[in-house]
Amino acid sequence: MKNKTTWVIDPVHSEVLFKIKHLVISSVTGSFRKFEGNVISEGTDFSNAKFSFRIDVKSIDTNQSQRDEHLRSGDFFEAHTYPEIFFDSTSFLKEGNNGYKMIGNLTLKGVTKPIELNVEYGGFENDGHGNVKHGFEITGTVNRKEFGMSWNKITDKGGLGLGEDVKLIANIQISKIVE
Summarize pLDDT for 100-121 with one digit per residue, the tens: 999 999 999 999 999 999 999 9
**Taking 60 as the threshold, does the pLDDT of residue 160 lie above it?**
no
- Sequential DSSP letters for the chain: -PPEEEEEE-GGG-EEEEEEEETTTEEEEEEES-EEEEEEEETTS-TT-EEEEEEEGGGEE-S-HHHHHHHHSTTTT-TTT--EEEEEEEEEEEETTTEEEEEEEEEETTEEEEEEEEEEEEEEEE-SSS-EEEEEEEEEEEEGGGGT-----B-TTS-BSEEEEEEEEEEEEEEEPP-
Buried b (16+ CB within 10 A) or exposed e, 54-86: bbebebbbbeeeebbeebbeeebbbbeebeebb
pTM confidence score: 0.90
Question: What is the distance between the alpha carbons of residues 175 and 5, in angstroms, rounded to a whole number?
Answer: 10
More confident residue, 131 or 23: 131
More confident residue, 162 or 41: 41
CATH fold for the domain made of 4-176: Lipocalin (2.40.128)
- The stretch 17-45 carries a mean pLDDT of 88
In 3D space, the residue among 21, 20, 108, 29 whose CA is nearest the CA of residue 61 turns out to be 29
Of the pLDDT bands very low, low, confident and very high (cuts 50, 70, 90), residue 152 is low
Phi, psi of 33 (to 5 degrees): -85, -25
* Region class of 146: left (phi > 0), else alpha (psi between -120 and 50), else beta: alpha
The string of pLDDT tens digits covering residues 53-71 is 999 999 999 999 999 999 9
The domains of the chain are located at 4-176
CB atoms within 10 A of CB 22: 15
**Taking 90 as the threshold, does the pLDDT of residue 161 lie above it?**
no
**Taking 90 as the threshold, does the pLDDT of residue 25 lie above it?**
no
